[in-house]
Structure 1
Amino acid sequence: MIGSMVRDILAAWLRGYSKGLSFRGRESRRDFLSFLILHYLLFYGLSVAVIRLPDAGSTGIKLGLGLLGLATLIITLSYNVRRLHDANSSGWLCAFYLVAMAPVVILVSLLMAPPVHEGNRYGADPRHTRYRRQRQPRRLG
């Protein structure tokens, strides 16, 4: 049970990076939450580890960490847009990330927004297209 949950979380995280520049389509709430949790744990863990290095003040390390942060910001925004599409909302709502408290409000609304179970203008329901093929019951015997 735990092994399949970890596998699903890792699959959602890797899918987020494989579709990192795609702002089309939809993502389920579970995949979105799995991606965010693992993504931020790894990114902040890496940031803390790099800051504790003896040469943490060097320009190269700061530049590398800044570029990594920019890349992960783009990937996270694309995942947010796909999650908004699942709730049948426009991805342009992510533009409110530039306002101080808007990221918290958008994140909570993305986690709580009910999905549209049938297809919408952004594509088919991701729960019915991807998981139906993967989650076949195992035959015993």
Structure 2
Amino acid sequence: MDWYLAVLKNYAGFGGRARRKEYWMFTLFNIIAFVLLAIIGALIESMVPYALYYIAILVPLIAVTVRRLHDTDRSAWWLLMYFVPLVGAIVMLVFMATEGQAAENKYGPNPKFVSAA
């Protein structure tokens, strides 16, 4: 839950780098929330809760994805890969699962070592 809240606190922070753990914990919590809200929406026959949550979480989701790309030394322009059917999603999945650069890159220091200090 701390990783999810940390992303929400930095909801519009597109600079810097995000660790794999930060990205994947945020993604896991969102998947759980989306499933629960879809079930609730099906029970009340309205997808309004699901849609409101998605709108509220859209900017933090993009921001953490950009920071994750920065950790792998890629620019935010790689987000456009999501518009390439099937292949784009696979490429982005590989990028999100790839370990970040151990050394400092042009987007900042390695977040593994910064958070430990």
TM-score (norm 1): 0.73
Q: Where does the alignment leave 5 or more consecutive residues of structure 1 unmatched?
A: 1-9, 134-141
Q: Which structure 2 segments of 5+ residues have no match? A: none
Flag the structure with more relative contact order, 1 or 2, with Cα contacts below 8 A and sequence separation at least 6: 2
Partner of 2:33: 42
Please name the residue that 1:6 is paired with: none
How do 1:2-81 and structure 2 match up within 5 A? 10-53=1-44, 56-57=45-46, 62=48, 64-81=49-66
Q: 1:93 maps to which residue?
A: 78
Residue identity opposite 1:90 in structure 2: S
Distance verdict in 2 for CA 1:40–1:99, change over 3 Å: same
Q: Give a deviation string over 1:56-92, Cα, whole Å, max 9, x none.
A: 24xxx53x53232123232211111100100111111
User: 1: distance between equivalents of 2:55 and 2:40?
Assistant: 18
- Residue 129 of structure 1 corresponds to 114
Q: TM-score, normalised by structure 2?
A: 0.86
Shift of 1:15: 0.9
Q: Is residue 103 from structure 1 mapped to residue 94 from structure 2 by the alignment?
A: no
What percent of counterpart residues are identical? 24
Q: Displacement, 1:24?
A: 0.8
Q: CA deviation at 1:100?
A: 2.3
Please list every run of at least 4 consecutive aligned residues from structure 1 whose deviation after the TM superposition is greater than 6 angstroms: none
Aligned letter for 1:37? L
Cα offset for 1:98? 2.3
